[in-house]
Structure 1
Amino acid sequence: MASNRPAPEAPRATEVPFESPYFGDETSAEPTFGEWNPTADTVRPVRGKHRVVKQRGGIARSSTVLGVGVIAAVGAGGIATAQDKPPVSISLPDLPDAESLPGVGSLISDDSNGESDDQNTTAAAAMGLAADQSAGSTAVADQGGAGEALRARILQQAEQQQAEADADAKAAAEKLAAEKAAAAAEKQQSEAEAKAAEEKRKAEEAAKAKAEAERLAKLAASYSLPTSSYTITSTYGESGSMWSSGQHTGLDFAAPTGTPAKAVHSGTVKSAAWSGSYGYRVVLELEDGTEIWYAHLSSMTVGAGQKVGTGETIGRVGATGNVTGPHLHLEVHTAGGSGIDPAAWLRDKGLTV
């Protein structure tokens, strides 16, 4: 229970002249307190649990702010501190401890814990902000590093693909060049082979022609035309009523009567006599069995069985038998008895009619 005993009365202050720091010297019966000079003790904030219950809307409560406000007000007005004032008798009931009051203790405890929580929350928020900034920087750095790595990878892949494309193009170019070179070499080889074959053919033809010329030269040396100073008047195979068969069977050399008739090649005289429409006729048999007939002779200078050489005279041109004028009728018969073209046979022997 509170006590109702009066508080002891404080002694009164001595009346002294009052000197105002603002209005000069004055004499007053009012108590004087002297000039107030703030010191470290007087401006030290009053320690205690001056708490303001938290309000919704985000207004913080702080005893420090309240103490600073009081000190500023006291300093600005030049008011003396409570310690210099005379004691005043105040009767106060005996009050229980605030912490023992229902609801108040928990409030004070909550305030204390709230201040710590606020400080912790503020620190945690600051640390969270710093962590977020650090994480953001790290994330940005990570994103930058990842982007740079991706860019480097893309560039590397592009360079690799370009290198592969260049290698493929180079291989294709080399292959094409090789194919062209092979085609050119094959063409050159083919042309060289064709040229060699042509040269060989020409050489063979030249050799053959040379051999033929040599053969004809030898034949020409061993064969001779049947007469000289002549004119071809009828050829082999001509048709007409003058020949009993209807066709001319030999080659006619028109020449003056008495022109020598010569052996075309060495051989043996098979017959030399009159032969009807042929007049006087000499048959010369060659070594291979070929027979040469000389007809319409004016005279004969050889007899049967006689051997003669190439170019030897065997008779003379005449007009005996069935004729229209002097000429040498020459026929060529194979060993089998068939008649052939005398002109072709003479050409084959290297003789030009």
Structure 2
Amino acid sequence: MASNQPAPEVPSPFRTDSLGTEDRTWEEWNPTEESIRPVRGRHRVAKQRGLARSSTVLGVGVIAAVGAGGMATAQSKPPVSISLPDSIADNLPDAKSLPGVSAFMSTDSDADHATVASSPLTTAGITAAEAEQGATDAGEALRARILQQAEQQQAGAEAEAKAAQEKAAAEAAAAQAAKQQTEAEAEAAAKKKAAEEAAEKKAEAERLAKLAASYAVPTSSYYISSSFGQAGSMWSSGYHTGLDFAAPTGTPVKAVHSGTVKSAGYSGSYGYRTVLELEDGTEVWYCHQSSMDVTAGQKVTTGQTIGRVGATGNVTGAHLHLEVHTPDGTGIDPMAWLRGKGLTI
């Protein structure tokens, strides 16, 4: 079992006179290891919580008061006076050494103390301009700052929206301008193309008109009774190889262009046939004539009469059978060839 030793006596902080009467005058007490050593066993003496604890609490209180100064100012809350015994005041830490307190301490004069007392306990968040304007309350300054920031953000948002609208309008205008330019270019290109086509047509018409002056329709008072390539059993090849101009017997047959008569005579199913060779080697055959007015080797001019419409050979009625052959002997459509020379058939 643990022994129950009596706790050591704690010296009294008060002086006693020769009669044992205590002098209540305060005297500093310096605790020692022996005086505060815990005693083992059932009876324990609580540690003395003296000046060190009091100093710490006081320091924390001062810091808390400084921190609370952002919400309460000297104008709204009167200063609190604290009285401490000299022995405790002498052991307190210097207030200037406490964080955040030295800025509010001044030893110059009582006027300076009055100035500090009339000012807010903290100026956190208050700018020099705000201080000049009288905004010395931290909460009011913060509120003003927030409102200012909100206004700035609103102004920025409005500026961004306006810039976006201006950009969209500029892009729309640019797109419209580009569209108009494209349409104008397309219209100009179309006009240019139309003008070029008109010029080409005009030039072709002039060429054909000039060419037509040197070509002539092979006969007159006619109608087309059979076209080139028309199929039928009455033609030995199975299709029509020329162009038929149905006209009364004896109607003049004319040279379509100047050239040389290559042959003139009777040619079986073609009846009386005249072959006219042009300068480029093209041959024009005039068939089923009733009579011929030229002979082989004779030179003729455009529109000169070379024979008469008839019904000789393999025919069903009076007409001029006209064939056109290229220099290599290939038969082509006489109507297309004549129209290509500017003639109207």
TM-score range, shorter chain: 0.5 to 0.7
Contact 2:260 2:298 in 1 (8 A): yes
SS in structure 1 at match of 2:316: coil
1:150 to 110, 120, 142: 142
Inter-partner Cα distance in structure 2 for 1:230 and 1:267: 24
Deviations 1:19-76 (A, max 9, x none): xxxxxxxxxxxxxxxxxxxxxxxxxxxxxxxxxxxxxxxxxxxxxxxxxxxxxxxxxx
1:252 shift after superposition: 1.1
Cα 1:197–1:142 change in 2 (3 A) is closer
Q: TM-score, normalised by structure 2?
A: 0.61
The equivalences for 1:28-39 within 5 A come to none
1:264 shift after superposition: 0.8
RMSD over equivalenced CA pairs, Å:
3.1
1:267 shift after superposition: 1.3
The equivalences for 1:270-281 within 5 A come to 270-281=262-273
1:340 shift after superposition: 1.0
> Partner of 1:321 in structure 2?
313
Q: Indicate yes or no: 2:124 matched with 1:132.
A: no
> Partner of 1:242 in structure 2?
234
> Partner of 2:103 in structure 1?
none
SS in structure 1 at match of 2:228: coil
Cα 1:317–1:149 change in 2 (3 A) is same
1:351 shift after superposition: 1.7
> Partner of 2:274 in structure 1?
282
> Partner of 1:339 in structure 2?
331
SS in structure 1 at match of 2:219: coil
Inter-partner Cα distance in structure 2 for 1:218 and 1:142: 107
> Partner of 2:256 in structure 1?
264
> Partner of 2:243 in structure 1?
251
1:171 shift after superposition: 2.0
SS in structure 1 at match of 2:137: helix
> Partner of 1:295 in structure 2?
287
Unaligned runs of 5+ in 1: 1-101, 110-128
1:255 shift after superposition: 1.2
Inter-partner Cα distance in structure 2 for 1:131 and 1:250: 132
The equivalences for 1:1-353 within 5 A come to 131-132=79-80, 138-139=119-120, 145-353=137-345
SS in structure 2 at match of 1:191: helix
Deviations 1:169-217 (A, max 9, x none): 2221222122112211111111111111111111111111111211221
1:260 shift after superposition: 0.5
Inter-partner Cα distance in structure 1 for 2:123 and 2:201: 97
1:291 shift after superposition: 0.5
1:103 shift after superposition: 10
Amino acid of the residue matched to residue 132 of structure 1?
A: V
Inter-partner Cα distance in structure 1 for 2:78 and 2:202: 115
Cα 1:148–1:213 change in 2 (3 A) is same
Inter-partner Cα distance in structure 2 for 1:296 and 1:206: 42
Inter-partner Cα distance in structure 1 for 2:247 and 2:173: 72
Inter-partner Cα distance in structure 1 for 2:208 and 2:118: 114
Tell me the number of residue pairs that the alignment of Structure 1 and Structure 2 aligns. Answer: 235
1:241 shift after superposition: 2.6
1:290 shift after superposition: 0.8
Q: TM-score, normalised by structure 1?
A: 0.60
SS in structure 2 at match of 1:132: coil
1:148 shift after superposition: 2.4
Inter-partner Cα distance in structure 1 for 2:285 and 2:78: 143
4+ runs deviating over 6 angstroms: 133-137, 140-143
Inter-partner Cα distance in structure 2 for 1:323 and 1:149: 121
Unaligned runs of 5+ in 2: 1-18, 26-76, 82-113, 125-135
